[in-house]
Amino acid sequence: MHPPTEGYWGLVREERRGQAVDGSHVRPPEVDDTTVEALGELSKALETIHRVRGHLYSAHQLVGGADLTLDRVVKLLREAGHDEVADRVEHELLGRNVLPGRWTFQIVEEFDDGYYAAFQEIERDAREKLAGGRRHIYEAEMKERRRTHGMPGHEATP
């Protein structure tokens, strides 16, 4: 039996170590606590990168919406007789790159095809090599330790 480990989710209770809520989350017998914890941390990091990706898409949509709003800004400025300001908005801001040579769709594509794809592939490869491809072993074991057996709302599976 391995000693309890501490980490992101706190101290592991000895009596239910290695047990999971269902067969698809059972720890392979050769996988130790430290490996399960490391894979859990890697999964946590990947989940953070998923959130980053969502924020990039939000920025992409917000910048695009703001750029489209500039069409109305230019029209209203011209109607109000402010051609010099309208010209500046139209020529210097409307359609401008947010980074050198890039609109936000290009930034999102580069992120998706580069860092995001690499992160996903490395996390998947680590799971395959170290845990038979099983996902969320740490969380499944934590659920088993923390749930109250026999209580409504604490079922192991649906």
Identify residue 59 by its one-letter amino acid code.
A
**pLDDT tens digits for range 62-77:** 999 999 999 999 999 9
pLDDT attached to residue 17: 54
Alpha-carbon gap, residue 137 to 27, rounded angstroms? 6
Alpha-carbon gap, residue 125 to 119, rounded angstroms? 10
**pLDDT tens digits for range 15-64:** 445 566 778 888 898 999 999 999 999 999 999 999 999 999 999 999 99
Specify which residues 102 forms β-bridges with.
99
Q: Is the pTM of this model over 0.75?
A: yes
Q: Coil, strand, or helix at residue 99?
A: strand
Contact status, residue 105 vs residue 95, Cβ threshold 8 Å = no
